Chain A
Amino acid sequence: MAEKGKTPGLFLRNAGIFNPILVQAVGLCPVIAMAVTFKGAALLAAIAAITITLCEFIASAFLKVIPRWIRISLYILLGCAIVCPVMYYIEKINPQLFGTLGIYMPVMAVNSLIVLRCERFAVNLKPFAALADGATAAFGYGAVLLIVGAMREILGSGSIMGYKFWDGRTLTGLLLPFGGFLMLGFIAAALRTLIAAFWPDYLDRKQPKPQKDNPLPVLAEPSVNEAILEELTEEDDSAALREIELAADFDLAEITEMIRSEQTQTITVLTPRTAEPADRAEPTEPEVTEIAEIQDAQVTSVEEPETSVTEEITATEITKTETATAQLAVEETKETSDTDPVTEVKETPVRTSAADEIKIEFRELTLEDVINDTDEPAPEQPSAKNPEPEKETTPAVRPSVKPISFDDTDDELEALMNRSLDDIIGKKEDTK
């Protein structure tokens, strides 16, 4: 067995760690329905091996220059061209076996495994590398077919290849597709245990596409933020949490921890995009572009925040902003202005997100938003909502644009956040 953490080779990757059936769940049709005897499974495995290997080789050698949308139709014809002679040959040699396999032999021509391997791997590899890739994948596919076929035949009919084990009660239900899925589930669990034990880095990871002529690309580090984003947005559809997608370079681990510990229910990521166009200062526009580029690279879609989002600012965000502002005030002894928050946005340069930088900006909060949603700024307790704007009460809420780190939060600020949040959580529940 390989040492733990050692990079596995092509064979182990394609046949084991990223097994087409057990891990990628591709090409299930013949396994589920027709791998009920060892002989039938062996025949299907042979057909699959020939089809996948030849299709990958031909796709790599001849189909790279063809546009993808035409290539798909060629895969159908290619699969048919390979399967039809095999079918004709088996029909002539062993009609009984041919009849047993039924329609599952013809449908191997459009097995989704062929398109998957050809499109993701073959067209990115040289022909002989594609041949090796197809052969290893076909080996993994065939191995699962044989194991499932043998086990189902033994348990379902009490015999294998004509050799009868016992005459007693048999589990004929395993010969149904239900039995195939059940068997696949347990075999997949066994494989998963092996992967977790010897190649833990590869567990639950997607098989990377090969780089040009390199069938063994480096397994990319998983994007922690992407995984967290996915989890958060599924749990809570609040618009504020969606805003986290706008700054995917955030250290979301910290934010997640805070959300889970209920220290805050919403985290607002402030970007110039959220500001009104009239208020947006020109120097920030390059940052806007840069943010958009980074965001586009990080997330699947970047949405313009709706206008209503600015109205959903909760006291939590204000509190957080307040504490951050207070901290910045301590650090820089910078007086906030009652007028024109844009000035501060303009003056303070914003660090752009790079591989190792974190970009944090604060929303330009208007007084109306603050007063409508919150109460006094920290350290005072937030009171009930006051619809009338109080223009002179919240200088501390003025956001500073200087990025801060959450590590800088001291105990006092943390206590303020917690206290405010308790009230806010109660308020939020009331307003819901």
Chain B
Amino acid sequence: MIYAFLNASIFALLLQNLVFNGGFGMSEAIRIATKPREFFPIALLVAFFTSATAAVCSALDSIPAIGAFGTSAHLTVYCCVLAAVYLIAVLIVKLVLKRNTDDIHRIGMAAVNTLVLAVPIINHRSAFNIFESIGLGIGAGLAFIIAVILIGEGEGRLRENDSIPLAFRGKPVLFIYIALISLGFAGLSGQSLFV
């Protein structure tokens, strides 16, 4: 059980980093990385949503009637689960914790994220059990946090670097920087660059 959990987590974090190798959640990672104040709350929220959605979807998939659904029907179920988890989180933050609208907006940013929806789809396609599913969800969340840290640090240094040509300042050099990180993670998966 623990082995399956850790296996899936490390898979999502290193071997097939869902952010750098899969591109999931990359837009949010870039957006959050440029806002240091938003980094921790949203990164943690993303990790929460990936784990919670993966757990609930995996539990539903264990129901034979739902497990027999086609791809489109599964997507509908997963989207409904994501929307429900989001609403529950917002209601808890709004009514119980009585936080301000900024926190509610952060929840929205974290929930509507390709990474959050990709995890249950991967779990279903890979026929993961519930422990592996939760492990993949947590690994995806950690992968997101690491991505935000790496992108944020790099973006800060690139912004201060005046030797970058004008045409490449901002997003162009950031994309190239992320490409190099992605290349590093691709090396962990053993893929070849040339044939």
Contacts and interface: CB of A to CB of B under 8 A. Distances in A.
Contacts of B94: 69
A181 B22 CA distance: 12
B114 A107 contact: yes
Nearest to A86: B72
Contacts of B27: 25-29, 112-113
- B contacts with A: majority SS: helix
B167 A185 contact: no
Contacts of B171: 22-23, 25, 185, 188, 192
Given A76-B83, A110-B112, A177 B194 contact: no
Contacts of B66: none
A80 B194 contact: no
A181 B175 CA distance: 5
- A contacts with B: majority SS: helix
A281 to B, nearest CB: 34
Query: In this complex, which of A73, A113, A193 has the most chain B Cβ atoms within 10 angstroms of its Cβ?
Result: A73
26 contacts: A28-B27, A29-B23, A33-B22, A68-B104, A69-B107, A72-B108, A72-B112, A76-B111, A76-B112, A77-B83, A80-B75, A85-B72, A107-B121, A109-B79, A110-B112, A110-B113, A112-B27, A169-B195, A171-B194, A173-B183, A173-B193, A176-B182, A177-B23, A178-B179, A181-B175, A186-B172
Given A29-B27, A76-B86, A176-B193, A181 B116 contact: no
Nearest to B91: A69
A17 interface: no
Interface string B113-153: 11011100110010000000000000000000000000000
Query: In this complex, which of A30, A107, A182 has the most chain B Cβ atoms within 10 angstroms of its Cβ?
Result: A107
Nearest to B21: A177
Interface in A12-41: 22-23, 25-33
A73 to B, nearest CB: 4
B14 to A, nearest CB: 15
A176 B191 contact: yes
A325 to B, nearest CB: 37
Contact of A84 (B75, B86, B90, B176): B75
Interface string B165-195: 0111111111110111011001000011111
B30 interface: yes
A182 B193 contact: no
B117 A110 contact: yes
A32 B83 CA distance: 26
Contacts of A23: 171
Given A112-B112, A115-B108, A180-B179, 10 more contacts: A32-B23, A72-B86, A76-B86, A80-B76, A106-B121, A107-B114, A107-B118, A111-B114, A189-B167, A192-B166
A106 B71 contact: yes
